[in-house]
Protein backbone atom coordinates (compact mmCIF):
# COMPACT_ATOMS: atom_id res chain seq x y z
CA UNK A 1 0.00 0.00 0.00
CA UNK A 2 1.31 3.42 -0.98
CA UNK A 3 1.40 6.04 1.79
CA UNK A 4 -0.78 9.08 1.27
CA UNK A 5 1.05 12.20 0.12
CA UNK A 6 0.08 15.84 0.46
CA UNK A 7 -1.47 17.47 -2.59
CA UNK A 8 1.65 19.18 -3.93
CA UNK A 9 0.32 20.81 -7.12
CA UNK A 10 -3.29 21.53 -6.16
CA UNK A 11 -2.71 24.73 -4.14
CA UNK A 12 -0.75 26.32 -7.01
CA UNK A 13 -3.40 25.32 -9.54
CA UNK A 14 -6.23 26.51 -7.31
CA UNK A 15 -4.58 29.64 -5.93
CA UNK A 16 -7.93 31.47 -5.90
CA UNK A 17 -9.50 29.00 -3.44
CA UNK A 18 -11.58 30.74 -0.78
CA UNK A 19 -13.33 27.69 0.70
CA UNK A 20 -11.71 24.28 1.11
CA UNK A 21 -14.17 21.42 1.64
CA UNK A 22 -12.81 18.17 3.07
CA UNK A 23 -15.48 15.53 2.49
CA UNK A 24 -13.86 12.11 2.43
CA UNK A 25 -15.30 8.84 3.61
CA UNK A 26 -14.29 5.23 3.46
CA UNK A 27 -16.23 2.69 5.46
CA UNK A 28 -14.11 -0.24 6.66
CA UNK A 29 -16.13 -3.36 7.23
CA UNK A 30 -16.08 -4.99 10.62
CA UNK A 31 -15.24 -3.91 14.11
CA UNK A 32 -12.09 -2.08 15.05
CA UNK A 33 -10.64 -5.30 16.48
CA UNK A 34 -11.49 -7.38 13.40
CA UNK A 35 -11.24 -5.09 10.35
CA UNK A 36 -8.30 -5.97 8.09
CA UNK A 37 -5.41 -3.70 9.04
CA UNK A 38 -4.97 -2.60 5.41
CA UNK A 39 -8.58 -1.38 5.46
CA UNK A 40 -7.91 0.45 8.73
CA UNK A 41 -4.84 2.16 7.25
CA UNK A 42 -6.67 3.13 4.07
CA UNK A 43 -9.48 4.59 6.14
CA UNK A 44 -7.06 6.58 8.31
CA UNK A 45 -5.53 7.95 5.12
CA UNK A 46 -8.84 8.92 3.51
CA UNK A 47 -10.91 10.02 6.50
CA UNK A 48 -8.27 11.65 8.68
CA UNK A 49 -4.84 12.10 7.13
CA UNK A 50 -6.23 13.27 3.76
CA UNK A 51 -8.12 16.23 5.26
CA UNK A 52 -5.15 17.09 7.48
CA UNK A 53 -2.69 17.10 4.58
CA UNK A 54 -5.06 18.97 2.29
CA UNK A 55 -5.76 21.65 4.90
CA UNK A 56 -2.05 22.07 5.56
CA UNK A 57 -1.36 22.39 1.83
CA UNK A 58 -4.09 24.99 1.29
CA UNK A 59 -3.51 26.95 4.53
CA UNK A 60 -1.23 29.56 2.89
CA UNK A 61 -3.80 30.21 0.15
CA UNK A 62 -6.65 30.44 2.66
CA UNK A 63 -4.66 32.75 4.93
CA UNK A 64 -4.03 35.14 2.06
CA UNK A 65 -7.74 35.50 1.27
CA UNK A 66 -9.11 35.07 4.82
CA UNK A 67 -10.94 31.99 3.56
CA UNK A 68 -12.58 29.02 5.21
CA UNK A 69 -12.17 25.30 5.75
CA UNK A 70 -15.23 23.06 5.89
CA UNK A 71 -14.63 19.60 7.33
CA UNK A 72 -17.52 17.22 6.82
CA UNK A 73 -17.78 14.75 9.65
CA UNK A 74 -20.91 12.87 10.61
CA UNK A 75 -22.79 11.45 13.58
CA UNK A 76 -20.08 8.73 13.89
CA UNK A 77 -17.77 11.56 15.00
CA UNK A 78 -19.46 11.11 18.39
CA UNK A 79 -21.20 7.72 18.23
CA UNK A 80 -19.46 4.39 17.67
CA UNK A 81 -21.62 3.01 14.88
CA UNK A 82 -19.53 1.26 12.28
CA UNK A 83 -16.93 1.25 15.01
CA UNK A 84 -13.74 1.54 12.93
CA UNK A 85 -15.28 4.34 10.84
CA UNK A 86 -16.24 6.23 14.01
CA UNK A 87 -12.66 6.27 15.27
CA UNK A 88 -11.50 8.19 12.22
CA UNK A 89 -14.46 10.57 12.17
CA UNK A 90 -13.81 11.34 15.85
CA UNK A 91 -10.23 12.11 14.87
CA UNK A 92 -11.49 14.49 12.18
CA UNK A 93 -13.63 16.23 14.80
CA UNK A 94 -10.52 16.87 16.91
CA UNK A 95 -8.47 17.89 13.85
CA UNK A 96 -11.24 20.36 12.99
CA UNK A 97 -11.02 21.84 16.48
CA UNK A 98 -7.22 22.02 16.31
CA UNK A 99 -7.25 23.68 12.88
CA UNK A 100 -9.88 26.12 14.12
CA UNK A 101 -7.61 27.18 16.99
CA UNK A 102 -4.55 27.42 14.75
CA UNK A 103 -6.16 29.22 11.80
CA UNK A 104 -8.61 31.59 13.51
CA UNK A 105 -5.90 34.08 14.55
CA UNK A 106 -4.88 34.20 10.88
CA UNK A 107 -8.37 35.03 9.67
CA UNK A 108 -9.34 31.56 8.40
CA UNK A 109 -12.71 30.27 9.59
CA UNK A 110 -13.09 26.52 10.21
CA UNK A 111 -16.54 24.94 10.13
CA UNK A 112 -17.31 21.37 11.14
CA UNK A 113 -20.40 19.90 9.46
CA UNK A 114 -21.88 16.82 11.15
CA UNK A 115 -24.91 15.46 9.29
CA UNK A 116 -26.82 12.31 10.03
CA UNK A 117 -27.71 10.00 7.12
CA UNK A 118 -27.74 11.73 3.73
CA UNK A 119 -29.66 10.37 0.76
CA UNK A 120 -26.73 9.37 -1.44
CA UNK A 121 -25.72 6.14 -3.18
CA UNK A 122 -23.24 5.50 -0.34
CA UNK A 123 -26.13 4.81 2.05
CA UNK A 124 -27.14 1.15 2.09
CA UNK A 125 -30.72 -0.01 1.69
CA UNK A 126 -33.76 1.41 -0.03
CA UNK A 127 -35.41 3.20 2.90
CA UNK A 128 -34.64 6.91 2.47
CA UNK A 129 -37.11 8.14 5.09
CA UNK A 130 -35.50 10.55 7.51
CA UNK A 131 -32.41 11.10 5.38
CA UNK A 132 -31.30 14.62 4.54
CA UNK A 133 -31.02 15.79 0.95
CA UNK A 134 -27.49 16.72 -0.16
CA UNK A 135 -28.76 20.08 -1.43
CA UNK A 136 -30.23 20.89 2.01
CA UNK A 137 -26.91 20.13 3.72
CA UNK A 138 -25.04 22.26 1.16
CA UNK A 139 -27.41 25.21 1.68
CA UNK A 140 -27.17 24.91 5.46
CA UNK A 141 -23.37 24.81 5.17
CA UNK A 142 -23.26 28.08 3.22
CA UNK A 143 -25.65 29.64 5.74
CA UNK A 144 -23.41 28.48 8.62
CA UNK A 145 -20.34 29.95 6.92
CA UNK A 146 -22.14 33.22 6.35
CA UNK A 147 -23.14 33.52 10.01
CA UNK A 148 -19.75 32.41 11.35
CA UNK A 149 -20.87 29.20 13.04
CA UNK A 150 -18.20 26.76 14.17
CA UNK A 151 -20.31 23.60 14.01
CA UNK A 152 -23.32 22.72 11.89
CA UNK A 153 -25.68 20.12 13.34
CA UNK A 154 -28.17 20.04 10.46
CA UNK A 155 -30.69 17.44 11.58
CA UNK A 156 -32.46 16.07 14.63
CA UNK A 157 -30.35 12.89 14.82
CA UNK A 158 -27.17 14.94 14.92
CA UNK A 159 -28.48 17.33 17.55
CA UNK A 160 -29.69 14.45 19.74
CA UNK A 161 -26.39 12.55 19.60
CA UNK A 162 -24.30 15.69 20.10
CA UNK A 163 -26.46 16.67 23.07
CA UNK A 164 -25.93 13.27 24.68
CA UNK A 165 -22.17 13.84 24.85
CA UNK A 166 -22.62 15.63 28.18
CA UNK A 167 -24.58 12.69 29.61
CA UNK A 168 -23.21 9.47 31.14
CA UNK A 169 -21.79 7.15 28.49
CA UNK A 170 -24.81 4.85 28.93
CA UNK A 171 -27.02 7.55 27.35
CA UNK A 172 -25.28 6.82 24.03
CA UNK A 173 -24.69 3.12 24.67
CA UNK A 174 -27.60 1.71 26.74
CA UNK A 175 -26.22 -1.83 26.41
CA UNK A 176 -23.40 -0.82 28.76
CA UNK A 177 -25.90 -0.10 31.54
CA UNK A 178 -26.54 -3.81 31.99
CA UNK A 179 -22.87 -4.69 32.47
Give one word for 125, left, alpha or beta, with left for phi > 0 and alpha for psi -120 to 50.
left
Cα 102–107–111 angle (5° rounding)? 70
What local confidence, expressed as pLDDT, does residue 83 receive?
Answer: 74
For the chain, give every domain's residue range: 10-178
In whole angstroms, give the CA distance from residue 90 to residue 80: 9
Determine the pLDDT at residue 26: 80
Q: What's the rounded Cα separation, in Å, for the pair 124 and 20?
A: 28
* Domain 10-178: assigned CATH number: 3.40.50.720
The helix/strand/coil state of 71 is strand
pLDDT-based confidence at 127, cuts 50/70/90? low
Distance CA(162)–CA(157), nearest Å, equals 9
Which residues, 6+ apart, have CB-to-CB distance to 2 below 8 Å? none
Task: Tell whether pTM > 0.85.
Answer: yes
d(CA 179, CA 109): 43
What pairs with residue 113 in β-bridges? 72, 152
> For a pLDDT cut of 90, what percent of the chain falls above it?
55
Share of residues in the chain with pLDDT > 70 (%):
92
d(CA 110, CA 30): 32
Mean pLDDT, range 3-7, rounded to an integer: 72
Lowest pLDDT segment from 23-27, 132-136, 166-170 = 23-27
Euclidean distance between CA atoms 85 and 78, whole angstroms: 11
Give mean pLDDT, residues 62-72. 98
Q: Count of CB atoms within 10 A of residue 73's CB?
A: 27
Mean pLDDT of the chain: 89
pLDDT digits (tens, 9 = 90+) for 94-119: 999 999 999 999 999 999 999 988 76
CA distance 52 to 46: 10
pLDDT at residue 129 tops 80? no
Amino acid sequence: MRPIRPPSRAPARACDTTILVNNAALFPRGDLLDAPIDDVRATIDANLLGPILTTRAFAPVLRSVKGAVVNVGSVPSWLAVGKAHSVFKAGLWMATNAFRLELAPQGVHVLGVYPGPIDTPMQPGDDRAGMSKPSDIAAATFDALETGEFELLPDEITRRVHGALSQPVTALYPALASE
